[in-house]
Amino acid sequence: MSESLVLERVEGRVAILTLNRPKALNALNDALMDALGEALLRYDADESISVIVLTGNEKAFAAGADIAAMKDKTFEEVTREQFITRNWETILRVRKPIIAAVAGYALGGGCELAMMCDMIYAADNAKFAQPEIKLGIIPGAGGTQRLPRAVGKSKAMDLVLTGRMMDAQEAERAGLVARVIPAESLMSETMDAAMLIASMSLPSVIMAKEAVNRAWEGSLTEGVRFERQGFHSLFATHDQKEGMAAFMEKRKADFQHK
């Protein structure tokens, strides 16, 4: 029996998903993306899970989409099959926060997958790129849209049109990654952050993610209105009462995630 394309484990309220095509530097093919989407939706529906960590191995988070699987496809085929969009955007349906823990290469589709996560923690050996221009194509899983929102138009143009790699330090300066962490500490520090988030009230975490995404995707007026509605709605939760009572009583809150 072949080994799973996505390895899974759970620590507390955190699910860790590991891309597992090491011989192909975790190149993202249809089978892997189907397996990843299934796992993501399953943990999103699991009431015992609050946070998902997505990672690869020390050499590569994911070195792009599988070129061998796409090189002979025709325009008619990629259009009819909804190539890439069919299963790549499942991750965008997940309401719980997803942290990408990136070591080594995050290239092409790998960079795009990392950008679909809610935050990126990068090992100090991480390298990011959208090198599709070198193949006679352009990014096809949101790279030309998410990259400018993260790093600005000029740097995005530089990266997309030259296909050059950007190291972790430049990626942090540009705003693509949240933290740069020594490679040997990447998973331990990522898990510390994930566990901290998982200790918060899940309804609040989900609402906070949705509100920040409104800022990313819409106007300021719409975003502030959404934030206010979310803020008000959380006063209907058990955890709001518990959190504020614990603050007044100078004790740690015992959130029930409801």
39 labelled catalytic:
no
pTM above 0.85, yes or no: yes
Which residues touch 82 (CB under 8 Å, ≥6 apart)? Answer: none
Find the catalytic residue in 35, 63, 65, 168.
65
- What pLDDT does 1 receive? 45
Q: What is the dihedral of CA 129, 134, 140, 143, to 10 degrees?
A: 30
Token pair 């050499």: residue: 59
Find the catalytic residue in 15, 108, 132, 194.
132
Residues in the chain predicted with pLDDT less than 70, given as ranges, are 1-2
d(CA 66, CA 83): 12
Closest Cα partner for 145 from 104, 87, 105, 85?
Answer: 85
Find the catalytic residue in 56, 64, 104, 109.
109
- What pLDDT does 155 receive? 97
d(CA 156, CA 144): 8
132 labelled catalytic:
yes
d(CA 30, CA 21): 12
pLDDT of 93-138, one tens digit each?
999 999 999 999 999 999 999 999 999 999 999 999 999 999 999 9
- What pLDDT does 144 receive? 94
Find the catalytic residue in 108, 112, 143, 168.
112
Burial of 190 (0-12, 13-18, 19+ CB in 10 A): buried
d(CA 3, CA 26): 13
Angle of helix 109-116 relative to helix 143-151, nearest 10 degrees, comes to 60
- What pLDDT does 2 receive? 61
DSSP 8-state class, residue 16? E
Burial of 79 (0-12, 13-18, 19+ CB in 10 A): exposed
Distance of CA 229 to the CA centre of its chain: 25
Closest Cα partner for 238 from 224, 226, 256, 223?
Answer: 256
- What pLDDT does 76 receive? 85
